Amino acid sequence: MNIKTRLAPSPTGYLHIGSLRTALYNYFFAKKNHGTFLLRIEDTDRTRYVEGSVEALLKTLKQMHLSWDEGPYVQSERLPIYQEHAQMLLEKGSAYYCFCTPERLKELRERQQQVKQSTKYDRHCLSLSTDEIQKRLAAGESHVIRLKIPDGITTFEDAIRGSITINNEEIDDQVLMKSDGFPTYHLAVVVDDHLMGITHIIRAEEWISSVPKHVHLYQSFGWDLPVFAHLPLVLNPDKSKLSKRQGDVAVEDYLAKGYLPEALINYVALLGFNPTADREIYKMDELIELFDLSKVNKSGAVFDVQKLRWMNGQYLRAMDLDALVSASKNFLTNDEVVTDEMLKKILTVEVERLEVLSEVSDRVRPYLSISDYDASILVWKKSTREDAQAQLQGLSGLVGSFSPSVFENVSLIEHAIKQYIESKSLQNGNVLWPLRVALSGSEQSASPFQLAWVLGKDETLSRLTIALNKLSA
């Protein structure tokens, strides 16, 4: 049997982190089994359609390296198929016309809530005679088609949770075809999954409660059931379903902040699934190879941005330097003009203190121009202003005497300066601290040797002069 999974988003905006996880598991499962990963756009609700969201969705999926083998199918282009299938159900007696107005339905619900009854359709239209139905249909009266849920109990198997049973009394006579001629999710999803040959439905847990309706649909049509696998939810820190309000939920947001697709995939994939537990960095290929539906957790997982940041840092440090350079460029502002060569040097020394690419801008700026700083920070805590001045003076002479070849790499610079310190019997801190501040304008920076290497001889000397002027002012 050819394994076939699908991702079926609705075009209501962005790609949710939870949807990414669903997409990933569907993708992993299909690839691992040499099957097919299909994409289907579920746009049967015209009122919620967001212009441009399909394009955005496809773009994000591509950015995340999730390529589909089939589709994208678009449900709004398949209306006749659903209408035809709704007719089949009508003929089989598994569905019926309903002419109730939204107002009546609303009142009904309110009445039921007041009496603390479960809110479900009262089958008011089930008893309509064929004649009356034909008459009202002919008169063009607004109507829907409802699924007729039989008495009894429904049990289905979930690949992650095992057997789930529900009393049919709990199930509502779900609307299948809306009055606008569009199908509801429930009809469309069942018809499409069957017609498209989906073998495994892997989706979020929030769908569990509607599975019984789908089971009745499959049974009414006389179709075999696919395998259901309901994923635990991705949660906010307070354990509720991951939502806006409590942080970013769109994959696009994370991409824009400079998280790498690989890191996002790695982190999100591990929310609810762990291949071995003795390791946390996995490439896509490994995740596919190791993925196992039966090892997916049952309980929800809190999305921890802190750990994502850490993981992104790991990916940044493991990244090829040229790739890092080109990825970083997108995060520089217009007035931060750097040559590739310069950016490469900067990133070589700054990558270890980088967690997300959006921080690149702040890291690059001090190398391009030194910002104003207070002269007092040039003085090492165990030293004096006079000493700092003397050391910078000495360093200025020393660096001025360096041949260009010294600037070819960091260790030559380091060696030369340390030798100087030793030969003069000076203290590291007294010399190196003022040097760092002079070159970076900050108390926190890369090592002074790295700074000098990135800046080059001329700029290094120039910044030493600026520092000396500050001290003598």
Query: How many residues of this chain interact with RNA, rule: CB under 7 A?
Result: 88
Interface positions, 350-369, toward RNA (CB under 7 A): 352-353
Q: At CA 69, angle to CA 67 and CA 73, rounded to 5?
A: 100
Cα 222 to chain centroid distance, Å, stands at 38
Q: Which is nearer to RNA, 126 or 337 (CB)?
A: 126
Count CB atoms within 10 A of the CB of residue 309: 16
300 forms part of the interface with RNA (CB under 7 A): yes
Select from 50, 72, 90, 109 the one that contacts RNA (CB under 7 A): 109
Select from 29, 37, 182, 228 the one that contacts RNA (CB under 7 A): 182
Residues 6+ apart with CB under 8 A from 399: 452, 457, 460, 461, 464
118 forms part of the interface with RNA (CB under 7 A): yes
152 forms part of the interface with RNA (CB under 7 A): no
Q: Which is nearer to RNA, 164 or 342 (CB)?
A: 164
Q: In what order do the strands lie in the sheet with 36-41?
A: 4-7, 36-41, 70-74
266 forms part of the interface with RNA (CB under 7 A): no
170 forms part of the interface with RNA (CB under 7 A): yes
Select from 445, 453, 455, 464 the one that contacts RNA (CB under 7 A): 445
Helix axes 185-195, 79-92, angle to 10 degrees: 100
List of E strands, 64-213: 70-74, 95-98, 144-147, 153-158, 162-167, 175-177, 200-204
Least distance from RNA to the Cβ atom of residue 36, Å: 20
Cα–Cα distance between 269 and 254 in angstroms, integer?
A: 15
Residues 6+ apart with CB under 8 A from 66: 7, 23, 24, 27, 37
Helix axes 448-472, 428-440, angle to 10 degrees: 80
178 forms part of the interface with RNA (CB under 7 A): yes
115 forms part of the interface with RNA (CB under 7 A): no
Least distance from RNA to the Cβ atom of residue 26, Å: 15
2 forms part of the interface with RNA (CB under 7 A): no
The answer to whether residues 38 and 71 touch, using CB atoms and an 8 Å cutoff, is yes
Is position 298 annotated as part of the catalytic site? no
Interface positions, 382-411, toward RNA (CB under 7 A): none
Select from 115, 116, 458, 473 the one that contacts RNA (CB under 7 A): 116
270 forms part of the interface with RNA (CB under 7 A): yes
Q: What φ, ψ does residue 172 adopt, rounded to 5°?
A: -80, 155
Select from 57, 144, 191, 264 the one that contacts RNA (CB under 7 A): 144
> Token pair for residue 42?
């579920």
Select from 78, 241, 329, 385 the one that contacts RNA (CB under 7 A): 241
107 forms part of the interface with RNA (CB under 7 A): no
Least distance from RNA to the Cβ atom of residue 210, Å: 5
Stretch that binds RNA, among 64-72, 276-284, 320-328, 335-343 (CB under 7 A): 276-284
Stretch that binds RNA, among 55-63, 126-134, 310-318, 335-343 (CB under 7 A): 310-318
Q: Where are the alpha helices (DSSP H) in 196-283?
A: 211-221, 251-256, 261-269
Select from 18, 35, 226, 232 the one that contacts RNA (CB under 7 A): 232
Is 50 in a helix, a strand, or coil? Answer: coil
Q: Which is nearer to RNA, 91 or 278 (CB)?
A: 278
Is 463 in a helix, a strand, or coil? Answer: helix
Cα–Cα distance between 431 and 70 in angstroms, integer?
A: 65
Q: Which is nearer to RNA, 152 or 340 (CB)?
A: 152
Cα 254 to chain centroid distance, Å, stands at 6
The answer to whether residues 454 and 342 touch, using CB atoms and an 8 Å cutoff, is yes
Stretch that binds RNA, among 232-240, 245-253, 282-290, 389-397 (CB under 7 A): 232-240
78 forms part of the interface with RNA (CB under 7 A): no
306 forms part of the interface with RNA (CB under 7 A): yes
Q: Which is nearer to RNA, 16 or 200 (CB)?
A: 16
97 forms part of the interface with RNA (CB under 7 A): no
Binding mask 13-52 for RNA (x = CB under 7 A): -----------------------------x-xx-xx----
Select from 198, 202, 233, 264 the one that contacts RNA (CB under 7 A): 233
- Selecting among 92, 239, 244, 424, the annotated active-site residue is 244
The answer to whether residues 19 and 9 touch, using CB atoms and an 8 Å cutoff, is yes
Cα–Cα distance between 279 and 435 in angstroms, integer?
A: 41
DSSP lists the bridge partners of residue 163 as: 157
Interface positions, 196-215, toward RNA (CB under 7 A): 205-210
DSSP conformational letter for 180:
T
Is 379 in a helix, a strand, or coil? Answer: coil
Q: Which is nearer to RNA, 143 or 344 (CB)?
A: 143
Instruction: Please give the positions annotated as active site.
Output: 244
